[in-house]
Amino acid sequence: MRSFNEISDYMEKNGLDLVDSIISMETVKLDCTKEEVIRNMNNRLSDMKRSIREAAVNEWTPKIVPNDSLKMKKYLKKKDSLSGQIISKSSEIALLVSTFNASMGRIVAAPTAGSCGILPGILFSWEEHRQHKKEDLLEGLIIAAAVGQIIAERATLAGSEGGCQAECGAAAAMGAAALVWMECKKAEPCFQAVAICLKSIMGLVCDPVAGLVEVPCIKRNGSLVSIAVLSADMAMSGIQSTIPPDEVIDAMSMVGKAMHPSLKETGRGGVAVTKTGVNIAKNLLKNAPHLESK
């Protein structure tokens, strides 16, 4: 899928809603049946749910940070959070799944491993707090994936090419569209939510300490869920992005290309080169087994 305009045209031409249009376009692209598309996406949803379940049963210790989702969980139990139930629970799940990923747990890259907490956070927190039908989550996931397809086509989903805007940023935009659809089943505000969300994370750099998917990645998963939820609310209130969604993604692509290489997953910029970041990297290197050349 090249653009949101393309989907809109397809919907109009075929008299289908957004979800059915995406599924129909996918069957043409892959030469497969509608049932196959639905089955495969249902499997992904189950795998995502399983990652939360598996992450919750053990104490995980990544190489740099502790499992902060436990603190969030405890906090939410005794305090009415400032950010509200949906955002704060999304954050807890996102922290949990990202921590699990950093501890070599089995996750679903969505769209990448570094941003794998955001979508499960948004989807399953929404499921917990809102009235819903069984198929809502699956539809949300399909919409999210289609947004990812367009970002992959017009820009990139790789931190090494576009910075963190392309990973956690894309995940948040995908989640924002999913939320809008699950709430109101209207296409246009989904697209608007994507535009609003991407504009607010545009230029976000990828600066992993010691090159690992931990600092600042895990907490970014835990905080960017909030932008997704608010973008969804703004779009559903009727707010329109002045710049159309397709053009926002084009801008994101240009920003990614203009970004200095030190800020694109090389660990040579941003928080990775702070005094503390450098020290952490040094200590990790000391613990790493020594590799010989032959």
Partner 1 sequence: MSLTEIIGPVMVGPSSSHTAGAAKLGNIARRLWGKEIKEVEIYLRGSFADTYWGHGTDRALIGGLLGWHPDDIRIRNAFSFTNKSEMMYRFYYESIDGAHPNSVRFVIKSKLSTMEIVGASTGGGAILIQEIDGFNVDIDGELPTLIIFHKDKPGVVSSITTELFRMKLNIAEMNLKRKARGQDAMMVIEMDSKIETKTIENLKDIEHVYNKIYFLPPSREETI
Interface with partner 1 by CB under 8 A: which residues? 22, 26, 29-30, 32, 36-37, 40-41, 43-44, 47-48, 54, 62-63, 100-114, 116, 119, 141-142, 144-146, 148-149, 152-153, 157-158, 160, 210-214, 284, 287-289, 291-294
Minimum Å gap between C-beta 165 and partner 1 is 16
Q: How far apart are CA 38 and CA 53, in angstroms?
A: 23
Measured between alpha carbons, how far is 23 from 6 in angstroms, rounded to an integer? Answer: 14
Instruction: Give residue 215's Cα distance to chain centre.
Output: 16
Inter-CA distances, 239 with 41, 113, 156, 191, 196, Å: 30, 32, 26, 11, 9
Query: Measured from the CB atom, is 175 or 189 closer to partner 1?
Result: 175
Q: Based on CB atoms, which residue is closest to partner 1, 258 or 291?
A: 291
Cα separation, 146 vs 177, whole angstroms? 10
Q: Give least dist CB 202 to partner 1, A.
A: 20
Min dist CB 240 to partner 1, Å, is 26
Identity of residue 146: A
Shortest Å distance, C-beta 210 to partner 1: 6
Q: What single-letter DSSP state applies at residue 243?
A: S
Q: Are 209 and 277 in contact (CB under 8 A)?
A: yes
Residue 102 tokens, joined:
């950093």
Q: Retrieve residue 190's tokens.
A: 């989904």
Distance between start and end Cα atoms, the chain: 48
Q: Which is nearer to partner 1, 93 or 210 (CB)?
A: 210
- Residue 157 Cβ, how far from partner 1 at the closest point, in Å? 7
In angstroms, give the least distance from the CB of 128 to partner 1: 20
Residue with smaller CB distance to partner 1, 158 or 204? 158
Closest of 158, 243, 150 to residue 206, by C-alpha: 158
* Residue nearer to partner 1 on the CB measure, 64 or 195: 64
Q: With respect to partner 1, which residue has the nearer C-beta, 123 or 180?
A: 123
